[in-house]
Amino acid sequence: MSTERDSETTFDEDSQPNDEVVPYSDDETEDELDDQGSAVEPEQNRVNREAQENREPFRKECTWQVKANDRKYHEQPRFMNTKFFCIKESKYANNAIKTYKYNAFTFIPMNLFEQFKRAANLYFLVLLILQARHKMDKEINNRTCEVIKDGRFKVAKWKEIQVGDVIRLKKNDFVPADILLLSSSEPNSLCYVETAELDGETNLKFKMSLEITDQYLQREDALATFDGLIECEEPNNRLDKFTGTLFWRNTSFPLDADKILLRGCVIRNTDFCHGLVIFAGADTKIMKNSGKTRFKRTKIDYLMNYMVYTIFVVLILLSAGLAIGHAYWEAQVGNSSWYLYDGEDATPSYRGFLIFWGYIIVLNTMVPISLYVSVEVIRLGQSHFINWDLQMYYAEKDTPAKARTTTLNEQLGQIHYIFSDKTGTLTQNIMTFKKCCINGQIYGDHRDASQHNHNKIEQVDFSWNTYADGKLAFYDHYLIEQIQSGKEPEVRQFFFLLAVCHTVMVDRTDGQLNYQAASPDEGALVNAARNFGFAFLTRTQNTITISELGTERTYNVLAILDFNSDRKRMSIIVRTPEGNIKLYCKGADTVIYERLHRMNPTKQETQDALDIFANETLRTLCLCYKEIEEKEFTEWNKKFMAASVASTNRDEALDKVYEEIEKDLILLGATAIEDKLQDGVPETISKLAKADIKIWVLTGDKKETAENIGFACELLTEDTTICYGEDINSLLHARMENQRNRGGVYAKFAPPVQEPFFPPGGNRALIITGSWLNEILLEKKTKRSKILKLKFPRTEEERRMRTQSKRRLDAKKEQRQKNFVDLACECSAVICCRVTPKQKAMVVDLVKRYKKAITLAIGDGANDVNMIKTAHIGVGISGQEGMQAVMSSDYSFAQFRYLQRLLLVHGRWSYIRMCKFLRYFFYKNFAFTLVHFWYSFFNGYSAQTAYEDWFITLYNVLYTSLPVLLMGLLDQDVSDKLSLRFPGLYIVGQRDLLFNYKRFFVSLLHGVLTSMILFFIPLGAYLQTVGQDGEAPSDYQSFAVTIASALVITVNFQIGLDTSYWTFVNAFSIFGSIALYFGIMFDFHSAGIHVLFPSAFQFTGTASNALRQPYIWLTIILTVAVCLLPVVAIRFLSMTIWPSESDKIQKHRKRLKAEEQWQRRQQVFRRGVSTRRSAYAFSHQRGYADLISSGRSIRKKRSPLDAIVADGTAEYRRTGDS
């Protein structure tokens, strides 16, 4: 059976992609793609017999060997790999995981490398972002479980576990490594696990050990002496596949994925279980899927680097020009001026060389070394604002939003594409019974027992039912009246069908019924029947017991016809206590309607109800039944028994037999289940779409389920044209043909043609499965012959041809992938379903690579980690699926709806603040520094500074630092409510409109003009001046004080003009900085400090002498006015003539305070128009029918081992006699 299951998920080179399977997606083990048909089973038995004789591996590909309870076995030299020069380490990883970027040894060199990517950044040591990730890894690695050591189970930490260890796990424990299930407390060593960390599904799945290990490995002493050898595949990232063999007691036993517990699973409803560690730590499948930890930097970071390089070039050119000027001046003037002789007979060229370095020092403030410190302070503050935002706090689980990095905040305001998981991210993972249609009548609206509709009505009280769980919210009292009165027998039969036709397992805890279902839908239906009075109580191999309105009745189960992805239905055949034989069936409407008896009076009414349910995005299921004559069943049962024990093509034989009995069915009605979305999902998606952000859903769930959620969250609407994999494949094939036809000798000279795939207009969406994705992107693996593996190119010509062939294939693949991305980006929505974690990351990478767009990935499970790490920004939902996604994310919160606030408010504000900060920072530094440049024309290019040394030191530290920091932290053009109401404001960040090279050069020019005004107006005023006392303070020191005073006032008033959101703090910082400047200047120019430090403070009395002259103040005022008035005039004209969206909203913000809340658009239902069907969400594996029929799940005495030893892996279905 293992080989049959494996064959369903392995595709042949020429096979058609299967929408129902999760595709193979692993680059490391492509040799393992040989077909495994049903004919492999006898071959396997033959190989096992040979293995028993020769002790040779049954497959050469299975090179991973695990020896139970023998750590020294794995330390043999043949298992050692050379890591670095002569340093060797075992190929078996220990169980400690590392998701952090650095360790104690690599921190300094890697951090140096990473920080020096930021040009001129000498302050990298303050960026210690390491501790949180180390802390979480340490917490996981220090979890404990029981490991056999010295013949006894002892408590050990996860990081101490090694390959080959036998461990014991208890109920609700996380599985610490990939282990082979040996035995458990359940009968036949069944073990229930929750795989939410792996695939996002919260419904329980069962694993089952080999029967030989179940028989012999229950006791501690037996487990301690267990010495089995496992040969299996090398570590890989395929979650749904495993191939290996256990050699024990001179016999080989085949192993498959059904016997493996993967790291990240949680043990449920199983008191304890034992397992053998096969893959540990970094070798586990979940870690293989997690991808590499990437260093993430923002677009602005890269842009800042290029701008700093530009400033470096300008600095060198200016210094070189001034040095040449000094050499010329020295030759013409300096050598002939005896009073300038300094005692050194240096040549003008040499003096010019020294002056070059002098100006490098004088003009060094052009290079904003302090910029990076200020940027990190602003980012840190913005991260805390995200952490402190109470509107992103989820009180129900006490979970605040968390910025787990401080380096990406402004990039939140530049997102183009969002890649979202579905289960647990968009949905709550809660299935709820909402409505039903019985005998053509729809139930589930708000109405009383008299069939009168009410807008406000109390929910149904189920207290009359002792088995009701009290969790079902239902408002149609008329349905309860119908059940209790029994006027319509179809109503009771409807809920009886839900209670009997399923593969749910039940146990009792403290007197309460607990159901374990193969899918959450099935669990919701059985729970609904339970609340309406038809409670499933217990089952054995051949019976099922139902409480029908308080009366317990037991039915003989004659056959269970289980679900699979092709049948899309299940049936059960039971014998009633009265001796009648009935078949009950439920399934997708598309398959049920094909099998109905032609005389079904409620067929059309049920069809209309299905249309209504589908338009309400509910998941529908049709229910039907038929009575079977004794003779008909006897004949059919013979065929059924024969198909059940078929050694080849068993599934196909059973399906054929099922078809014979599942016909001429009588329709009872339909159920409607809500896959409950998280609160605010449709509103969030709508607002993000208005912000021109495209949302792609990447999920491992089935196509029908994913499509249903697309309608529920309004990614898809009734007027959306949906394109599927086969449509996309044909479009891309035609495009490739056209591109090939246009190619040729002159193709490289012709301009590239960008033709749209779809005609303009219309709303289109793309829904594609993982199998089609591999097919379209040419990622599908090809089988390789054993002979070809040994064939190497023998001649240079052959090598050249093979190289050219590979290049052509790579070019074709790249062009195909680019075409796919172009096509997908023309769609308003993209849904990729049945995709693996690796495929999720691949899709994100394709958009990053070919669209050069900023991407965000959001998910809640371990299967989303690779995607989260690949995107520019990763967001983790701290939901029901553990903390793996959160640990790997950059930001985390509890609900998807908080994403709109993170992007449209915090992201946009952060982007605007950072852009304003950078523009202003460059402006003020150029205005400050270039005064030295103009001054050099009047001092012989001597590298003399235009300011006092203390002013140069304190300018960026005290006089201008606080206002710009506060603007970078607090400024906002509009309020958070208006930011959410007008998502179009977000577009400026996507288009890089607020900070780019153009904006940079405008800031540079603004600084140049300001520096000219600051220098030349005081210079003109000082040329011919007379003070009030007849003295003219036209000395250098007074001139420096005048320029410095005008500069401080100008740049602080300039930031006032740039500030959109005025608070007391902003005003205090601006005027406080100016006051601080004057206070410090008068103090530094006092006689007292000169007496204490005569060499350090040489401007004694300058401030008091210069600033008591009125014309000096007039000069300062005139300078400031000339600097700022043009800016005021330009701002006024631009806001009046070319106002931006933000300007318009600011202008009318008082009127907009009475804003109305966003209303979810109403869908218009058009009867008979919908072609959509909401299919049943089948489990990704078969249901529990085989398990139930075999009896292995029922508590009983352990069966002898003879059957498994004699017959291998055959399983028999057993049916009860009438």
Task: Report the alpha-carbon angle 241-244-246, nearest 5.
Answer: 140
Which position has the token pair 């009290």?
470
Question: Which residues have a catalytic role annotated?
Answer: 421
How far is 1022 from 1041, CA to CA, in rounded Å?
Answer: 12
Distance (Å) of CA 665 to CA 440, 635, 686, 1161: 16, 19, 43, 40
Q: How many C-beta atoms lie closer than 10 Å to residue 332's C-beta?
A: 11
- DSSP for 205-230, please give it: EEEE--HHHHHH--SHHHHHT---EE
Distance, C-alpha 287 to centroid of its chain: 16
1124: nearest Cα among 1062, 1169, 1058: 1058
Among 194, 1180, 1157, 1177, which Cα is nearest to 676's?
1177
Q: What share of the chain is helix, strand, coil (3-state, %, to 5)?
A: 45, 15, 35
Q: Which uninterrupted H or E stretch holds 516?
A: strand 512-516
Determine which helix (DSSP H) or strand (DSSP E) holds 1140, and give its type and residue range: none
**Angstrom distances, CA of residue 43 to CA of 48, 254, 389:** 9, 12, 63
Contact 895/887 with Cβ under 8 angstroms? no
In 16-79, the DSSP E strands lie at: 64-67
Instruction: Name the residue type at position 1014.
Output: L
Q: For the chain, how many residues are written?
A: 1218
Residue 854's nearest CA partner among 976, 681, 694 is 694
Strand bridging mode 505-509 / 512-516: antiparallel
Identity of the residue numbered 114: E
CA atoms within 13 A on the CB side of 546: 27
For the purposes of burial, counting CB atoms within 10 Å of the CB of 675, is it exposed (0-12), middle (13-18) or buried (19 or more)?
buried
Task: Take residue 609 and report the two structure tokens written for it.
Answer: 């109800």
In contact, 19 and 1175? CB cutoff 8 Å: no
The Cα 704–Cα 1173 span in angstroms is: 8
Residue with tokens 């059924």: 640
Per-residue 3-state assignment (H helix, E strand, C coil) for 428-468: EEEEEEEEEEECCEEECCCECCCCCECCCCCCCCCCCCCCC
Token pair belonging to 677: 């979305």
Name the residue among 841, 934, 1053 with its Cα closest to residue 363.
Answer: 934
3-state secondary structure of 1063: coil
Contact 1016, 946 (CB under 8 A): no
Cβ atoms of residues 465 and 483 within 8 Å? no
Query: Contact at 8 Å (CB) between 756 and 731?
Result: no
Two tokens at 520? 């959450």
d(CA 741, CA 73): 60
Residue 960 Cα distances to 304, 618, 914, 965, 1044, angstroms: 20, 60, 16, 9, 12
Measured distance between the N- and C-terminal CA atoms of the chain, rounded to whole angstroms: 29
Contact 766, 723 (CB under 8 A): yes
Three-state DSSP string of 342-389: CCCCCCHHHHHHHHHHHHHHHHHHHCCHHHHHHHHHHHHHHHHHHHHC
How many other C-beta atoms can be found within 10 angstroms of the C-beta atom of residue 1139?
13
